[in-house]
């Protein structure tokens, strides 16, 4: 099956969107109106936190450690900011998401500076992975948006061939609690499960969308950050949502190679109610 990138002007019915995502197509919601305010809000926070008039080149205005410390503070401020959440949820709602049906984990501001010297550590890019290798939640839907203009050298890459093709990976032995303990101890550790064989990149797809657009895709897609050598940092925002009803019924994308021993329902909380997905979608009650 050939997977597609579908551009949507306006909204989609919640159920239709879920089905498209579970079938593997990528959705780009164009010029989502609350995203204009969201990007302006985030831009202001970035400028203030980095103390710069040129956010995408700020890494060249200060030394690496100072830059990374400022990024860390920025990410924390962003994550805790009620306006960020409010505006992003308004954007989801305007694409047709029924906020009463979903759980999410958190809103994350990812910064991918340009250049090899940032290839490890906190601002490192994410390698090839499926989010479902770690969450094991096949109704998980990912949302992704750039704050500033991006190019094919500064975006996400997808590998549609692997939608239905297994890739050997470490999900069967990966454990988030162990990752946390080892990170606290300062040990090098993979933040997400990794492939255990070379990735065939023949089907690579690099969507280039505009600030104000929202990319929506299944957490079961194999994807990665494109290594950034453009001389301009990538600032993007991401969130993961799960439809509570679908999670309860085990409806979602196919699992072709995930082997995680447990389902991470407790990573997600209701947007409206606040209960964890583990409580909201307890399969024993369905
Ligand atoms: Fe991911």
pLDDT tens, residue by residue, 29-54: 999 999 999 999 999 999 999 999 99
Cα–ligand 1 centroid distance for 129 (angstroms):
6
Mention the CATH class of domain 5-273: mainly beta
Cα–ligand 1 centroid distance for 145 (angstroms):
13
Cα–ligand 1 centroid distance for 161 (angstroms):
17
3-state SS, residue 195: strand
Q: Which residues, other chains included, contact 162 with Cβ-Cβ below 8 Å and sequence gap of 6+?
A: 199, 203, 221, 222, 256
Q: Are 183 and 51 in contact (CB under 8 A)?
A: no
Count other C-beta atoms under 10 Å from residue 203's C-beta. Answer: 15
Would you say residue 282 has pLDDT above 80?
Answer: no
Would you say residue 122 has pLDDT above 80?
Answer: no
**pTM of the model as a whole:** 0.94
Radius of gyration in angstroms for the set of CA atoms belonging to the chain, rounded to a whole number: 18
Per-residue pLDDT, 286: 45
Cα–ligand 1 centroid distance for 64 (angstroms):
25
**Stretch among 17-26, 119-128, 231-240 having the lowest mean pLDDT:** 119-128
Per-residue pLDDT, 191: 81
Residue 274 banded pLDDT, cuts 50, 70, 90: confident
Cα–ligand 1 centroid distance for 281 (angstroms):
23
Q: How far apart are CA 238 and CA 125, in angstroms?
A: 14
**Alpha-carbon distances, residue 228 vs 73, 76, 112, 275 (angstroms):** 22, 23, 7, 38
Cα–ligand 1 centroid distance for 141 (angstroms):
10
Cα–ligand 1 centroid distance for 235 (angstroms):
15
**Alpha-carbon distances, residue 223 vs 117, 194, 250 (angstroms):** 22, 11, 23
3-state SS, residue 122: coil
> HSE on the CB side for 82, CA within 13 Å?
0
Cα–ligand 1 centroid distance for 49 (angstroms):
25
Cα–ligand 1 centroid distance for 184 (angstroms):
22
Looking up tokens 């989609």 gives: 12
Q: How far apart are CA 151 and CA 282, in angstroms?
A: 42
Cα–ligand 1 centroid distance for 222 (angstroms):
8
Strands (E) in 147-273, as ranges, are 156-158, 214-218, 223-225, 234-243, 269-270
- The whole-number average pLDDT for the span 191-216 is 96
Per-residue pLDDT, 2: 72
- The whole-number average pLDDT for the span 118-129 is 76
User: 273 or 166: whose pLDDT is higher?
Assistant: 166
Percent of the chain scored above 70 by pLDDT? 97
Q: Which residues, other chains included, contact 60 with Cβ-Cβ below 8 Å and sequence gap of 6+?
A: none
Return the structure tokens found at 276: 């964890």
Which of 264, 217, 213 lies closest to 240, judged by CA?
217
Return the structure tokens found at 45: 């926070």
The structural domains of the chain, with segments of one domain joined by +, span: 5-273
Cα–ligand 1 centroid distance for 126 (angstroms):
7
């Amino acid at each position: 099956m050939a997977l597609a990138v579908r551009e949507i002007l306006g909204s989609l019915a919640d159920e239709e969107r879920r089905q498209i995502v579970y079938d593997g197509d990528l959705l780009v919601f164009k010029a989502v109106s609350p995203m204009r305010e969201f990007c302006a809000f985030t831009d202001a926070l970035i400028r203030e936190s980095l103390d710069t008039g040129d956010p995408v080149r700020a890494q060249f205005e200060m030394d690496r450690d100072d830059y990374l410390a400022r990024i860390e503070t920025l990410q924390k401020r962003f994550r805790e900011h009620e306006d960020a959440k409010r505006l992003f949820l308004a954007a989801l709602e305007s694409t047709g998401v029924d906020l009463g049906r979903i759980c999410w984990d958190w809103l994350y501001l990812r910064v991918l500076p340009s250049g090899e010297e940032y290839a490890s550590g906190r601002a490192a890019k994410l390698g090839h992975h499926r989010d479902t290798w770690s969450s094991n939640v096949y109704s998980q839907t990912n949302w992704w948006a750039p704050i500033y203009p991006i190019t094919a050298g500064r975006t996400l890459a997808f590998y549609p061939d692997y939608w239905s093709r297994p890739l050997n990976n470490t999900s069967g032995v990966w454990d988030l609690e162990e990752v946390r303990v080892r990170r606290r101890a300062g040990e090098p550790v993979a933040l997400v499960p990794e492939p255990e064989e070379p990735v065939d990149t023949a089907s690579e797809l690099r969507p280039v969308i505009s600030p104000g657009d929202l990319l929506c895709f299944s957490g079961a897609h194999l994807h990665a950050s494109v290594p950034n050598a453009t001389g301009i940092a990538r600032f993007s925002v991401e969130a993961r949502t799960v439809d509570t009803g679908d999670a309860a019924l085990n409806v979602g994308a196919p699992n072709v190679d995930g082997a995680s021993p447990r389902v991470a329902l407790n990573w997600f909380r209701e947007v409206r109610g606040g209960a964890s997905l583990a409580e909201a979608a307890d399969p024993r009650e369905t």
